[in-house]
C-alpha cells in the first residue's frame, strides 16, 4: 500500500443551511476541512495509507479537526498541537446565476504561526512514497514558504514523488507574491495540478482562445499552458482541470494530463455537472490523480479516473469526497445514468 503525506491548513467550515445567504442564517453547520486534508481523505477512501501534516490548537476545537480526519481513515499521528487558534472559513453556496461566496477568518492560526523547524521532515517522510501540498500553504506567510521549501528538498532527497496544486487564492497573497514564491518551489515538483486561472494568475501563462466564464475552452491552448509549465520548471506531468461555468449550479467538467517526456496530452470526457457542493472539487481531482498514478494506470486511465472522481464530488455535501474506487471506476467506464443501484 502506497503511503502519501499531505501538508497544509485544516479549518472549520461554517455554512448556512441549504442555499441560505449569510444574512438570512440564524445557525451555521460546522465541518472541518482544507485543501490538502481533502486530498488525504480521498486517498484514504481509496484504500491508501494517507497521513496529514499540520498544526492545530491543543484544545477541543483542534481535537474536532483531528477527529474529523480520523473518522475518514487519515493518519493524524504527524499533526502538531499548539498555537492559538484554528482558522475558520464561512461558505455561502451559490445557485443559478448567484455565485458562491467564501469569507476567511484564518489570520493568526496555529499553522500560520508555526515555525519551519517544528517539522521533522526526515521523520515525517519515513516510508513515504508521495508528498502533496498546495499553493495555499506557502500563501499563509510567516515560516510556511520556508517550511514548504524544506519539505520539498527533503522529499526529493529521499526519492519521493512531489505533487503540487497551484490553488491560487487572491485573498491570501498577490499575484506577484505568489509568482515569486512558487517559482522557487515548482522546480522540486514532479506533478503540477492547476486550472487555467491558476497558471495565469501565478505565472502569467494563459490559454489562448479560451473564456471560462462563457464555457469556451480550447484544447490546444491548455496543452500550451501545460507545456510551458513543464519546460519552465521541469515538471514531469501537468494536470489541468477544465471547468466551463454555465452557472453556479451547472458546470461542464473535464480535465487534461500532459506528459513532458512524450510531449503528449490526453483529455477526459466532459461531464455536465449539476452541483450540490463544489467546494473540494479540485482537491478530489488531485486525490483521484495521485491514486491513479500510484496504481500504475496509463495516462488516459489516470485522467479519466481523476475527472470522474471530481465529477462525483460535486454531488457530495461538504469538502470531503466520500466515494469509493468502484464508484469512480463505474463512472469512468461510462455508467453516468445515476440510476438507483440495487
Mean pLDDT of the chain: 94
Phi and psi at residue 25, to the nearest 5°? -80, 135
pTM of the complete model: 0.94
pLDDT, tens only, 146-192: 999 999 999 999 999 999 999 999 989 999 999 999 999 999 999 99
pLDDT tens-digit readout, 222-269: 999 999 999 999 999 999 999 888 999 999 999 999 999 999 999 999
Q: For 39-77, what is the HEC assignment?
A: HHHHHHHCCCEEEEECEECCCHHHHHHHHHHHHCCCECC
Q: Which residues pair with 253 in a beta bridge?
A: 243, 271
Residues paired with residue 64 on neighbouring β-strands, in sequence order: none
The pLDDT assigned to 209 comes to 60
pLDDT tens digits, 288-325: 999 999 999 999 999 999 999 999 999 999 999 999 99
pLDDT attached to residue 219: 85
What does the pLDDT look like over 274-296, one tens digit per residue?
999 989 999 999 999 999 999 99
d(CA 239, CA 284): 13
Q: Which residues pair with 254 in a beta bridge?
A: 242
For each of the domains in the chain, give its residue range(s) and CATH number, in order of start.
Answer: 3-332 (3.40.1190.20)
pLDDT for 92 beyond 80? yes
Amino acid at each position: 500500500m502506497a503511503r502519501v503525506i499531505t501538508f497544509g491548513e485544516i479549518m472549520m467550515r461554517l455554512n448556512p443551511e441549504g442555499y441560505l445567504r449569510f444574512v438570512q442564517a440564524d445557525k451555521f453547520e460546522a465541518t472541518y476541512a482544507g485543501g490538502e486534508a481533502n486530498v488525504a481523505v480521498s486517498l484514504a477512501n481509496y484504500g491508501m495509507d494517507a497521513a496529514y501534516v499540520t498544526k492545530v490548537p491543543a484544545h477541543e476545537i483542534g481535537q474536532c479537526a483531528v477527529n474529523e480526519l480520523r473518522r475518514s481513515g487519515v493518519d493524524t499521528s504527524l499533526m502538531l498541537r499548539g498555537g492559538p487558534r484554528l482558522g475558520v472559513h464561512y461558505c455561502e453556496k451559490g445557485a443559478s446565476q448567484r455565485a458562491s461566496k467564501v469569507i476567511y477568518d484564518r489570520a493568526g492560526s496555529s499553522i500560520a504561526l508555526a515555525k519551519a523547524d517544528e517539522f521533522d521532515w526526515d521523520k515525517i517522510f519515513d516510508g513515504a512514497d508521495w508528498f502533496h501540498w498546495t499553493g495555499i500553504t506557502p500563501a499563509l506567510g510567516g515560516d510556511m514558504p520556508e517550511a514548504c521549501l524544506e519539505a520539498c528538498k527533503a522529499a526529493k532527497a529521499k526519492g519521493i514523488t512531489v505533487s503540487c496544486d497551484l490553488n491560487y487564492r487572491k485573498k491570501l497573497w498577490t499575484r506577484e507574491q505568489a509568482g515569486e514564491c512558487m517559482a522557487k518551489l515548482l522546480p522540486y515538483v514532479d506533478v503540477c495540478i492547476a486550472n487555467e486561472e491558476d497558471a495565469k494568475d501565478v505565472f502569467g501563462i494563459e490559454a489562448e482562445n479560451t473564456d471560462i466564464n462563457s464555457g469556451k475552452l480550447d484544447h490546444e491552448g491548455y496543452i500550451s499552458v501545460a507545456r510551458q509549465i513543464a519546460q519552465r520548471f521541469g515538471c514531469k506531468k501537468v494536470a489541468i482541470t477544465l471547468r466551463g461555468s454555465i452557472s453556479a449550479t451547472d458546470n461542464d467538467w473535464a480535465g487534461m494530463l500532459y506528459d513532458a517526456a512524450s510531449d503528449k496530452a490526453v483529455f477526459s470526457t466532459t461531464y455536465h455537472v449539476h452541483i450540490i457542493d463544489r467546494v473540494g472539487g479540485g482537491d478530489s481531482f488531485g486525490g483521484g490523480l495521485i491514486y491513479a498514478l500510484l496504481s500504475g494506470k496509463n495516462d488516459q486511465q489516470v485522467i479519466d479516473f481523476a475527472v470522474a472522481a471530481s465529477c462525483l464530488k460535486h454531488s457530495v455535501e461538504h469538502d470531503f469526497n466520500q466515494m469509493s474506487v468502484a464508484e469512480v471506476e463505474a463512472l469512468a467506464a461510462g455508467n453516468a445514468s445515476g440510476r438507483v443501484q440495487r
